[in-house]
Structure 1
């Protein structure tokens, strides 16, 4: 194999694929990135961890077609440190790949292309397109609520399903729930309910930053593939049953509190400075047209802050985990956040208004 490619093009593509590669691998080939120079004047780069795979083709000058695999992170670091604007010449033969750029020359050990595993997609019967902006919104407004508890592996992803003629995405860790509802795209009717793993969500979000138009989504009950321009991301899905999250979305919370989300977030952040790391509990005393935030810490002391609010129901005192509350408030884009309360022990509903695509449920804490 022999090809020449511009450093910036190679670096960008390598950045997309190498982040899939785990730092520690018991299987040596999984530490490598597959590079395939093709007769059509493209260089294909591919990396996998057996659950997730990124495959991208970029333009290159191909003198001799062929393929090899090189250590992903080492190769990425080399290309990152090469001079800007340089042309990178890649030549692979007899178990080595030579990298030449300007006066720099590297010889890397390679592993055979035939040893490189590729995820078999099988049939992907459901196919539809989503605007990249919609997919970004779905991820940004839900992924903070994904669980990291491995015993509840079925919560370690974003649950995507079709209901009420809408496409819905939800994530929960048992303490908070985030759900986004968007119009169902053509082709998504009858799709299976799927749970997209956390790592796939993270890699997809990085790739979406560079996609302007639409993303092609193809899926079955076990695999999902995203077509993102020159890159294709393929992932296995979580094999589990997501709980019926609709049961925890409160419908009878009759006490409506309205606040400015930015001043609410800043106030919670300030008083939480002295909260103990373990509980991170912030108490909210809700009164006529004001909210008093307070934190009491045995080690540090006390903090209080008063916020103007729009509220006309009975007084209520309720406690929340400050970090969970801040995560939700950071995703509120409008000038108002609605906090629907019932009592100090019941789940609380937060959203911008009843027309907003995202809603959040937060379980209270005893304070």
Structure 2
């Protein structure tokens, strides 16, 4: 039975939108599939890993029957990618198998019963709604997401802390070695609400958001958060845990402040990193009046040194960092100049800010080299 006859791109785009969360190998084989259903002239693609669920809808022409089936998300995506652009694709179903035809190409895929596909249970608790432009949230995420922990035993660090408070939206991420904070004003006043979203949710959301001013609708619930924009809906469970008090981590007494050109510093660090220790990725900042020396060396006694002229009138300071932590912030902030605030001791965390912008803070802990 013919289910769909449509342009290849009309199928590939929504399928690609949802397959980012699909694992190739899963303890439940059906979770490697995508649920595809049709009602009227709306085709719906749904994928889930039971923590996150993404749905994308696509309007199609024709008066074919309503249906639903599941098929391997990755295989289906690879097949459609291999078919030429703008080619017509026909999808047929018979005896629990899916046949995909285009031109003289034909593919048979196994299916699993659609009624067995587990969907995320959508909670009905009261929600805190926010509407803001795509570009606003994408910009905020770009400034903090790189600081999230990855597979940390402190599971609440493997995500992003979001605070809605009055007319403020605040985002915080930390892996215990560095912390990124950014904030923005909202057009509405809301009660305080705190949420920790999983790393995977943030990663997928960041990929799917555009730089446009199109509206993004967010609803914060007790155990779930919903994002809705265009034809895409994302439901995500929240991380059940208490995020550490980030305000205690941000230094307030670092008085040795220097202004550094972001591009110049990035290029100097990238050059020095060539000879950094591959395991520890250490870099030393040697501060002295009027000069910043950047030094990297490795276990083979090789060394790289860069020197920048700076405005610095304090005593000398020798402080070490993980060079990756510095490059992360430099590559994700678009300001021309960044302010580095150092403490008096080499054991004090360093605060990185943007001039005249109190809404961004980056804290990096020193390391022994």
Q: TM-score, normalised by structure 1?
A: 0.95
Counterpart position of 1:330: 331
Query: Could you tell me whether the CA contact under 8 Å between 1:337 and 1:351 is conserved in 2?
Result: yes
Counterpart position of 2:261: 260
Deviations 1:152-172 (A, max 9, x none): 110000100134742110000
Alignment of 1:352 onto 2:354: yes
Provide the rounded CA distance (Å) in 1 between the counterparts of 2:211 and 2:52. Answer: 19
Counterpart position of 1:182: 184
Query: Could you tell me whether the CA contact under 8 Å between 2:276 and 2:298 is conserved in 1?
Result: yes
**How many residues are matched?**
365
Deviations 1:25-51 (A, max 9, x none): 121211111111111x11111111111
Alignment of 1:136 onto 2:154: no
Query: Could you tell me whether the CA contact under 8 Å between 1:344 and 1:364 is conserved in 2?
Result: yes
Q: CA deviation at 1:280?
A: 1.4
Alignment of 1:51 onto 2:84: no
Provide the rounded CA distance (Å) in 1 between the counterparts of 2:284 and 2:15. Answer: 47
Q: Which moved more, 1:211-220 or 1:24-33?
A: 211-220
Distance of aligned partners of 1:164 and 1:177 in 2 relative to their CA distance in 1, 3 Å threshold = farther
Provide the rounded CA distance (Å) in 1 between the counterparts of 2:217 and 2:167. Answer: 20
Counterpart position of 2:15: 14
Q: Which moved more, 1:311-320 or 1:323-332?
A: 311-320
Counterpart position of 1:340: 341
Counterpart position of 2:174: 172
Provide the rounded CA distance (Å) in 1 between the counterparts of 2:258 and 2:234. Answer: 42
Provide the rounded CA distance (Å) in 2 between the counterparts of 1:93 and 1:36. Answer: 16
Q: CA deviation at 1:356?
A: 5.0
From 106, 124, 127, the counterpart of 1:125:
127
Provide the rounded CA distance (Å) in 2 between the counterparts of 1:38 and 1:126. Answer: 30
Query: Could you tell me whether the CA contact under 8 Å between 1:37 and 1:62 is conserved in 2?
Result: no
Deviations 1:34-85 (A, max 9, x none): 111111x111111111111110110223411111111111111111111211
Deviations 1:110-144 (A, max 9, x none): 11111111111212511111211111112111111
Q: CA deviation at 1:194?
A: 0.5
Counterpart position of 1:65: 66
Query: Could you tell me whether the CA contact under 8 Å between 2:135 and 2:211 is conserved in 1?
Result: no
Counterpart position of 2:85: 84
Provide the rounded CA distance (Å) in 2 between the counterparts of 1:53 and 1:210. Answer: 23
Q: CA deviation at 1:3?
A: 2.0
Structure 1 portions without partners, runs of 5+: none
Counterpart position of 2:227: 226
Q: CA deviation at 1:345?
A: 0.8
Deviations 1:161-198 (A, max 9, x none): 134742110000011000111113426x1253111111
Superposition pairs of residues 19-30 of structure 1, within 5 angstroms = 19-30=20-31
Provide the rounded CA distance (Å) in 2 between the counterparts of 1:357 and 1:104. Answer: 54
Alignment of 1:306 onto 2:307: yes
Query: Could you tell me whether the CA contact under 8 Å between 2:144 and 2:181 is conserved in 1?
Result: yes
Provide the rounded CA distance (Å) in 2 between the counterparts of 1:136 and 1:288. Answer: 39
Regions of 4+ moved over 4 Å: none
Superposition pairs of residues 194-233 of structure 1, within 5 angstroms = 194-209=195-210, 212-233=213-234
Counterpart position of 1:290: 291
Provide the rounded CA distance (Å) in 2 between the counterparts of 1:300 and 1:99. Answer: 59
Root mean square deviation of aligned Cα: 1.7
Q: Which moved more, 1:204-213 or 1:281-290?
A: 204-213
Query: Could you tell me whether the CA contact under 8 Å between 1:53 and 1:235 is conserved in 2?
Result: yes
Query: Could you tell me whether the CA contact under 8 Å between 2:338 and 2:353 is conserved in 1?
Result: yes
Q: Which moved more, 1:291-300 or 1:244-253?
A: 291-300
Structure 2 portions without partners, runs of 5+: none
Query: Could you tell me whether the CA contact under 8 Å between 1:256 and 1:313 is conserved in 2?
Result: no
Q: Secondary structure at the match of 1:202?
A: helix
Query: Could you tell me whether the CA contact under 8 Å between 2:35 and 2:45 is conserved in 1?
Result: yes
Provide the rounded CA distance (Å) in 2 between the counterparts of 1:107 and 1:23. Answer: 18
